[in-house]
Amino acid sequence: MNANARRRKIISRIAEALCLLAVILALLPLAMILFYVIKEGFGALNLDFFTQMPKPVGEAGGGMANAIVGTLILIGLAAIFAVPIGVICGIHLSEYPASRFSSVVRFAADVLNGVPSIVIGIFAYGLVVLPVKRFSAIAGGVALGLLMIPIVVRTTEELLRLVPAGLREGALALGATRTRAVFTVILPAALPGILTGILVALARVAGETAPLLFTAFNNRFFSTNIGQPMASLTVQVFTYAISAYDDWHRQAWAGAFLLVMMILTLSMLARFAVRRLERMNRP
Amino acid sequence: MTMTIEERRTRRPQEKVMTTTTRAKISVRDFEFYYGAAKVLHGINLDVPSQQVTALIGPSGCGKSTFIRSINRMNDIIPEARGEGTIEIDGKNVYAPGTDTVELRRRVGMVFQKSNPFPKSIYDNIAYGLRIGGMRNKRELNEVVEKSLIRAALWDEVKDRLHGPALSLSGGQQQRLCIARALAVNPEIVLMDEPASALDPIATAKIEELIFELKDRYTIVIVTHNMQQAARVSDRTAFFMLGKLVEYGETKDIFMNPKEKMTEDYVTGRFG
């Protein structure tokens, strides 16, 4: 082996080592968070945590049943608000990619994506809470939905544009109108990816606290009334974590652990759903 | 299908008698096409007879694909593209203002170079055009799906897995599926844009055989890069060059006895 080849080989090895180092550095915080949350949270988790209501200060035990159900309702509401708007917006962007209106929408979605979540919360407060003068789950859902919209818009657009042009031509050549082609061929072809995008967006907003503080607020009682304040895991964890009681701290850890698990499950569900749907799409 | 293509060709003479009596199905007059400011088709005049196969040949970029896509106005989806002049089908100009392209494309089916089955089941692919046309009756759908697959010579290969994914079929089967899908809506004209260029020789032979079968019922226009293919399957051939129609006539005349020097150079492989 001559000197030049050896030199190239050494440089290649160094580059590989640097890549590996970068991967480890990126994954280390995730591993540490998971380790710490599991260590602190898993021990505090028990059946009561899922089935019981919060106990008054001083009484040991109790759980977060209201917050668990509350979080599920809140992200459900967020999906109801954000998915139709986001997907239809994404369709418009992919169908009219070059129009001036589309570039404005795209820019707006990017800006909305960058707006701090607490500002979104204040906006939802002004929009939904102030007129009826009451905190409500609906307001929380709107706030979370607003956070979801830009993610759903951009993933929908990107995935629709990945659908081969031949499919559109095939549908049009059979006498489909443009709308028909989009809804019967192009959208279904991109559905696995769009669904993943939606689940990822849900996982992201499920962990939000700030936008809920002025909207869904919190509720010490079990409630499924979306016109009333509603508890959520994140707000409950926040409230308990800044309290002065050891028992509440333990509960906060359990809540944090549960949140992480929920988000993990959503992400895995996303992957699983994609694989099932893709079976029809690929040989 | 017991006869080979060669045997079929010997039947030609008696078919020709019919040819002279059939009138033009598609009649093109002074047709020009532009992409923005670029003129890609110059003054095309040509008559496509009914129930025959008309092949469009010529080097890459000569405008034959643009031309075939003008017949069902598929080019409309390209921004800045526009056609001038007339293309009449049964005497009705498809470029007349107010023409319903949806209706037009139901009468003029199209098969593309790259087979493009939808990511749905085999059955749903064939039923697609029928369903968007409003057919809901299950028995009726079943019937047309079967008939279309039989007509496209695919039925025997897929009858046991109609509800399996279309994308699990081989390339040649996928292309025949696309042909069946186009036939299902019962078009009068079938346009084929290099339907066999991505297929192996055996699959190609099957498609060619099929084209031969289909002309009993449909008027077929086919774009091909492959001159042997044009010679094998078509009754009439049009030679395009740089956006102009150089020569058009009976396929055997174009290949055996071309009038233009350019045609002769092309069909004998001197350039292309």
How many CB atoms are located within 10 Å of the residue A57 CB?
A: 10
Q: Is A225 helix (H, G, I), strand (E, B) or coil?
A: coil
Rg (CA), chain B: 18
Residue A113 forms contact with B (CB below 8 Å): no
Which residues in chain A have Cβ-Cβ distances shorter than 8 Å to B112? 166, 169-170, 173
pLDDT for the residue A3: 85
Which residues in chain A touch residue B68, judged by CB atoms under 8 angstroms apart? none
For the stretch A158-194, pLDDT in tens is 999 989 989 999 999 999 999 999 999 999 999 888 9
Do the Cβ atoms of A176 and B102 come within 8 Å? yes
Query: Which chain B residue is nearest to residue A278, measuring alpha carbons?
Result: B119
Q: What is the pLDDT of residue B160?
A: 94
Contact A171 B119 (CB under 8 A): no
Single-letter code of the amino acid located at B123:
Y
**Quick count: other Cβ atoms within 10 Å of Cβ A8?**
10
Instruction: Tell me which of A168, A174, A282 to substitute to probe the interface with B (most B C-beta atoms closer than 10 Å).
Output: A174
In A, which residues are within 8 Å of B74 by CB distance?
169, 172-173
pLDDT at B16: 41
3-state helix, strand, coil in chain B (%, to 5): 40, 25, 35
Task: Establish if A190 touches chain B: CB-CB under 8 angstroms.
Answer: no
Which residue, A266, A230, A263, A265, is CA-closest to A73?
Answer: A230
| pLDDT at residue A1 greater than cutoff 80 | no
Give the pLDDT confidence of A188-210 residue by residue, as tens digits.
999 888 988 899 899 889 999 99
**Which residues in chain B have Cβ-Cβ distances shorter than 8 Å to A170?**
112, 116-118, 178, 181
pLDDT of A157 > 70? The answer is: yes
Q: pLDDT tens for residues A10-51?
A: 999 999 999 999 999 999 998 999 999 999 888 888 888 888
- Min Cα separation B144/chain A (Å): 15
Answer yes or no: do B109 and A177 touch at CB < 8 A: no
The answer to whether residue A279 scores a pLDDT higher than 80 is no
Cα gap A237→A207, rounded to integer Å:
11
Residue-averaged pLDDT of chain A: 90
Contact A98 B77 (CB under 8 A): no
- Chain B residues with CB inside 8 Å of A176's CB? 102, 128-129, 132
Residue-level pLDDT at B22: 55
Map tokens 């031509």 to a residue: A169
Q: Answer whether residue A143 shows pLDDT above 60.
A: yes
Q: Is A164 on the interface with B (CB under 8 A)?
A: yes
The Cα A250–Cα B167 span in angstroms is 53
Single-letter amino acid, residue A197: G
Global pTM value: 0.81
Residues of A in contact with B181 (CB under 8 A): 170, 174
Residue type, A201: A
B220 membership: H or E segment, kind and range: strand B219-223
d(CA A266, CA A201): 10
Q: What is the pLDDT of residue B5?
A: 53
Q: Are the Cβ atoms of B74 and A166 closer than 8 angstroms? A: no
Question: Which residues of chain A are within 8 Å of residue B129 when distances are taken between CB atoms?
Answer: 174-176
Q: Residue A276: pLDDT above 80?
A: no
Residues of chain B with pLDDT under 50: 1-2, 9-21
B3 min Cα distance to partner chain A (Å): 31
Contacting residues of B for A280, CB less than 8 Å apart: 119-121, 165
* Cα B111 from Cα A171, distance rounded (Å): 11
- The predicted structure's pLDDT at residue A180: 93
Highest mean pLDDT pick, A45-54, A105-114, A222-231: A105-114
Q: With pLDDT > 90 as the criterion, what percentage of chain B qualifies?
A: 75
Residue A136 CA to residue A232 CA, distance in Å, equals 12
Interface residues on B facing A, Cβ-Cβ cutoff 8 A:
72, 74, 77, 79, 102-103, 105-106, 109-110, 112, 114, 116-121, 128-129, 132-133, 165, 167-168, 178, 181-182, 185
Q: Of B268, B250, B255, nearest to B53 (Cα)?
A: B250
> In one letter, which amino acid is B203?
A
Residues of A in contact with B114 (CB under 8 A): 166
A99 lies within 8 A of chain B by CB: no
Q: Which two tokens stand for residue A136?
A: 């409500």
Angstrom distance (rounded) from CA A174 to CA A181: 10
The pLDDT of residue B198 is: 83
**CB-based contact, A100 to chain B, within 8 Å:** no
Chain B closest-CA separation from residue A187 CA (Å): 11
At residue A267, the pLDDT reads 85
| Longest pairwise C-alpha distance within chain A | 80
CB of A283 within 8 Å of a chain B CB? The answer is: yes
